[in-house]
């Protein structure tokens, strides 16, 4: 068998690698502020905004805007890429995009919906089953592993692959992986490997299913050759180093990426600058980063403090400056597009529209400019261009009006926010006044507590003098107790010396007993080791003998099948040759029969003509005899010799035709027998070929079982060596 080729070079990678991108939109613009729209099944339109005033469109492989986009994305984007995994290719399905766009719900599924991971696993098992049905000698088994990858991990996390026999085993393993979530900010990674053995070749294909958590990390996609564009993209969208390390370890660089991008249609999610200032602490928005379909929650500030108020004042000052700048810009725009100018522009547009209508009706509006009738084409071109300019001018005016309305709305929002901040400042001032009154009350309470504390100090001085007297009495009692303790300690030291001598004597006796027991147990362990080694050798010899016997039986059966195939092929060739001879002979006989039938028909026609002629002659003779009866003359006798000879010849020809028919029937029967023998030979040959395929498959299974048993024996030997090392006595005191 040829060795396993796990990774291929770029020259050997025949599949044209291209990234399939599918986009699913979450319609969360309930307030009418739409930033993204689905233009078609493969196109997204970006609405005008402050960062991109124009209208732009981006094309993808598929664009879906539905509550459950899993089915459409699977059939349009993911399923066409899965068929190459059984051929030894690597495919990576990556779900990324905005936070709270529904990535995890799409990958995992819900109570009433099927997720992308389950659909991919089901499709892989269906592909493996179809490949096994097409080729009976194909052996395939699937390994699967699941892992949670954290960004804080600095080392590569290994994925433990387990063999899965059915789809239910794979789904149970994935459900256990979902229940064992380590952190809310971890990335879910599922790896599925397909090992296929066919035509003396072993190939391995991998399928990676990655659910990227949040919008602040991404997997580094392949870029061949690497360019500065990938580096710029990585600087804008940071990559998860831990996820990249895991992905590059198990997938390499020669894989087919399939990107599922989740976006939100709200205008706030359309475009974001690379470096933004922090939001105001007075009101900030927060969204759940678990990729669930949850709305944004307004986080209100807690109790007002000096720091929060200072931050609010700074934020209000910045927003006020921004409002002033916007007001200046709005005034400039109003100066540029005031009512007089709008009327003038409208008047000019109406005049131009009138001129265009006149030009379309071939009226001579300005005879001095168009004196010739040959300028009709030029006037039509001018009309179309002028109409286009007017439409573009109207679009620009509408866009400017919309932008002015947005700026006015922002100014109103800033004024409302300023009023809210002023109300908060007034509340803070009232709180400070109440705090000052509370401080005065607290000072009075402290003065009273100080007076009470002075009284307690006087009491404490009297108690201190009493304590000094009791301290002198306690010192005398302590000296007496110490003398008694010294006498007791001397007695205890004598007892400890005696007990230490007894302990040393017992320790020597224990050492002697332990040494004797160690020698005895070592002898038993050596005997058990030798006995176990003999049993293992006998078992290994018996297993090798059984395997050799099975191999010999299969080799003999294979030789017998080969001999049967050769004999049947020889018989088949003989039958085919005999069939060809019989067919040629049958064609010859049929040709002879046709010739004889032609001769018989000719003779019958000649006999009929002769009979008619003889009849006519006989009639004429009879008439002549009747005429000469009176004269006494006799009629000549009829000629019957020639008719008898012709009848005999006809009878002989008929006999030959009958004989030819019998011969034809006999040859037809022989040809039918030859066809039946040929059919039986073909059936037997197909059975023999099926038995040959079965024997080959059994040989492959036996070889795989032999390798597995060798691996098990090596594992048992290693375990035995480990157990023997652990069983060595190591007694120390």
What is the model's pLDDT at position 476? 79
Find the length of the chain: 733
CB 661 within 8 A of CB 589: no
pLDDT of 596 above 70: yes
Tokens of 575: 């039958």
Band the pLDDT of 733: cuts 50, 70, 90.
very low
**Mean pLDDT, rounded, for 30-59:** 73
In this structure, what DSSP letter does residue 109 have? B
Band the pLDDT of 29: cuts 50, 70, 90.
low
What is the model's pLDDT at position 161? 86
Q: At the fourth CATH level, which superfamily is domain 20-280? A: Kinesin motor domain (3.40.850.10)
Q: Give the 3-state secondary structure of 460-487.
A: HHHHHHHHHHHHHHHHHHHHHHHHHHHH
CB 42 within 8 A of CB 62: yes
Rounded Cα gap, residues 695 and 703, in angstroms: 12
Of 63 and 351, the one with more pLDDT: 63
What is the model's pLDDT at position 407? 72
Return the CA Rg of the chain.
54
Q: What is the pTM of this model?
A: 0.39
What is the model's pLDDT at position 371? 44
Of 295, 294, 267, 291, which is closest to residue 99 (Cα–Cα)? Answer: 291
Flag the least confident range among 156-165, 600-609, 631-640.
631-640
Among 125-134, 294-303, 392-401, 630-639, which range has the highest average pLDDT? 125-134
Rounded Cα gap, residues 589 and 46, in angstroms: 87
In 3-state terms, what secondary structure has residue 210?
Answer: strand
In 3-state terms, what secondary structure has residue 15?
Answer: coil
Q: Let me know if 142 is exposed, middle or buried by CB neighbors in 10 A (0-12, 13-18, 19+).
A: buried
CB 250 within 8 A of CB 128: no
pLDDT of 722 above 90: no
CB 254 within 8 A of CB 10: yes
pLDDT of 84 above 80: yes
Q: φ, ψ for residue 68 (rounded to 5)?
A: -130, 90
- For the domain covering 534-624+642-725, report its CATH number: 1.10.287
Band the pLDDT of 456: cuts 50, 70, 90.
confident
pLDDT of 44 above 50: yes
DSSP assignment of 312-326: HHHHHHHHHHHHHHH
What is the model's pLDDT at position 123? 93
What is the model's pLDDT at position 119? 93
What is the model's pLDDT at position 576? 77
CB 195 within 8 A of CB 138: no
| Tens digits of residue pLDDT in 89-117 | 999 999 988 888 888 888 988 888 899 99
Helical spans, DSSP H, in 180-257: 228-236, 241-251
| Tens digits of residue pLDDT in 379-397 | 566 666 667 667 766 776 6
CB 102 within 8 A of CB 27: no
What is the model's pLDDT at position 409? 80
669 Rama sector, left if φ>0, alpha if ψ -120 to 50, beta otherwise: alpha
Other CB atoms within 10 Å distance of the CB of residue 612: 10
What is the model's pLDDT at position 242? 79
Burial 223-234 (b: 16+ CB within 10 A, else e): eeeeeeeeeeee
Domain range list for the chain: 20-280, 309-450, 534-624+642-725
Rounded Cα gap, residues 354 and 349, in angstroms: 9
CB 65 within 8 A of CB 34: no
**Mean pLDDT, rounded, for 440-451:** 79
CB 106 within 8 A of CB 116: yes
Residue 183 CB contacts under 8 Å (≥ 6 apart), including other chains: 148, 150
What is the model's pLDDT at position 13? 36
Band the pLDDT of 523: cuts 50, 70, 90.
confident
CB 355 within 8 A of CB 379: no
CB 539 within 8 A of CB 631: no
Q: Mean pLDDT over all residues of the chain?
A: 73
Band the pLDDT of 49: cuts 50, 70, 90.
low
pLDDT of 299 above 80: no
Tokens of 377: 């084409």
Band the pLDDT of 122: cuts 50, 70, 90.
very high
What is the model's pLDDT at position 116? 93
Of 116, 20, 120, 16, which is closest to residue 70 (Cα–Cα)? Answer: 116
Tokens of 634: 């006799």
Of 77, 121, 88, 94, which is closest to residue 15 (Cα–Cα)? Answer: 88
pLDDT of 675 above 50: yes
Rounded Cα gap, residues 44 and 59, in angstroms: 6
Tokens of 333: 């725009």
Flag the least confident range among 15-24, 311-320, 404-413.
311-320
Band the pLDDT of 625: cuts 50, 70, 90.
low
Rounded Cα gap, residues 563 and 368, in angstroms: 107
| Tens digits of residue pLDDT in 459-515 | 877 788 778 877 788 877 887 887 887 888 888 888 888 888 888 888 888 788 878
Of 146, 151, 200, 202, which is closest to residue 173 (Cα–Cα)? Answer: 146
Band the pLDDT of 192: cuts 50, 70, 90.
very high
| Tens digits of residue pLDDT in 52-63 | 555 577 888 899
What is the model's pLDDT at position 59? 85
CB 221 within 8 A of CB 19: yes
């Amino acid at each position: 068998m040829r060795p396993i080729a796990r990774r291929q070079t770029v020259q050997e990678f025949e599949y044209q690698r291209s990234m399939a991108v599918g986009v699913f939109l979450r319609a969360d613009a309930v307030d009418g502020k739409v930033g993204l729209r689905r233009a078609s099944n493969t196109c997204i339109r970006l609405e005008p905004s402050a960062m991109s005033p124009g209208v732009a469109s981006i094309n993808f492989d598929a664009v879906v805007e539905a509550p459950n986009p899993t089915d459409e994305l699977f059939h349009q984007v993911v399923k066409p890429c899965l068929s190459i995994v059984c051929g030894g290719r690597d495919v990576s399905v990556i779900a990324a995009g905005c936070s709270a766009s529904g990535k995890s719900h799409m990958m995992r599924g819900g109570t009433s919906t099927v997720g992308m991971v389950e659909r991919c696993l089901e499709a892989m098992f269906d592909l493996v089953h179809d490949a096994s049905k097409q080729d009976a000698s194909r052996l395939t088994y699937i390994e699967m592993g699941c892992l949670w990858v954290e960004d804080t991990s600095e080392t590569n996390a290994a994925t433990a692959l387990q063999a899965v026999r059915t789809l239910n085993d794979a789904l149970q393993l994935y459900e256990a992986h979902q229940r064992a979530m380590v952190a809310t900010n971890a990335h879910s990674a599922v790896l599925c490997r397909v090992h296929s053995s066919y035509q003396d070749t072993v190939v391995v294909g991998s399928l990676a299913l990655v659910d990227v958590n949040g919008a602040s990390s991404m997997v580094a996609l392949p870029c061949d050759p690497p360019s500065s564009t990938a580096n710029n993209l990585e600087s804008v969208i940071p990559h998860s180093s831990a996820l990249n390390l895991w992905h590059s370890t198990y997938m390499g660089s020669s894989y087919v990426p399939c990107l599922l991008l989740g976006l939100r249609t709200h205008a706030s999610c359309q475009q974001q600058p690379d470096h933004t200032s922090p939001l105001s602490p007075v009101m900030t928005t927060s969204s759940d980063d678990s990729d669930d379909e949850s709305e944004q929650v307004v986080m209100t500030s807690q109790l007002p403090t000096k720091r929060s108020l200072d931050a609010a004042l700074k934020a209000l000052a910045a927003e006020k400056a921004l409002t002033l700048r916007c007001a200046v810009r709005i005034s400039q725009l109003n100066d540029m597009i005031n009512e007089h100018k709008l009327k003038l522009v409208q008047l000019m547009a109406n005049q131009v529209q009138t001129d265009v209508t006149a030009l379309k009706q071939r009226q001579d509006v300005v005879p001095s400019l168009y004196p010739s009738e040959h300028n009709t084409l030029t006037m039509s071109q001018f009309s179309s261009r002028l109409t286009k300019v007017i439409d573009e001018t109207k679009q620009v005016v509408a866009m400017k009006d919309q932008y002015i309305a947005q700026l006015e709305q922002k100014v109103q929002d800033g004024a409302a926010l300023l009023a809210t901040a002023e109300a908060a400042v007034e509340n803070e001032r009232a709180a400070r006044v109440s705090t000052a009154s509370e401080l005065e009350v607290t000072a009075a309470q402290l003065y009273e507590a100080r007076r009470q504390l002075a009284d307690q100090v006087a009491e404490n001085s009297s108690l201190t003098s009493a304590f000094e007297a009791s301290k002198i009495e306690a010192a005398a009692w302590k000296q007496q107790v110490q003398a008694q303790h010294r006498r007791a300690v001397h007695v205890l030291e004598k007892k400890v010396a005696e007990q230490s001598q007894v302990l040393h004597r017992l320790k020597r006796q224990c050492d002697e007993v332990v040494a004797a027991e160690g020698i005895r147990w070592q002898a038993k362990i050596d005997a058990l080791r030798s006995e176990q080694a003999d049993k293992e050798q006998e078992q290994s010899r018996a297993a090798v003998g059984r395997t050799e016997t099975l191999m010999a039986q299969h080799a003999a059966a294979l030789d017998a099948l080969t001999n049967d195939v050769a004999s049947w092929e020889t018989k088949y060739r003989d039958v085919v040759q005999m069939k060809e001879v019989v067919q040629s002979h049958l064609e010859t006989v049929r040709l002879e029969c046709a010739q004889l039938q032609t001769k018989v028909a000719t003779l019958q026609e000649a006999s009929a003509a002769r009979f008619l002629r003889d009849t006519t002659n006989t009639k004429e003779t009879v008439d002549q005899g009747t005429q000469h009866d009176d004269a006494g003359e006799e009629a000549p006798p009829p000629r019957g010799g020639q008719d008898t000879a012709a009848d005999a010849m006809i009878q002989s020809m008929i006999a030959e035709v009958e004989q030819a028919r019998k011969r034809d029937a006999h040859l037809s029967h022989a040809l039918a027998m030859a066809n039946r023998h040929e059919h039986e030979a073909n059936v037997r040959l197909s059975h023999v070929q099926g038995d040959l395929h079965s024997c080959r498959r059994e040989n492959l299974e036996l070889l795989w079982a032999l390798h597995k048993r060798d691996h098990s024996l090596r594992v048992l030997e290693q375990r035995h060596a480990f157990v023997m090392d652990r069983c060595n006595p190591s007694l120390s005191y």
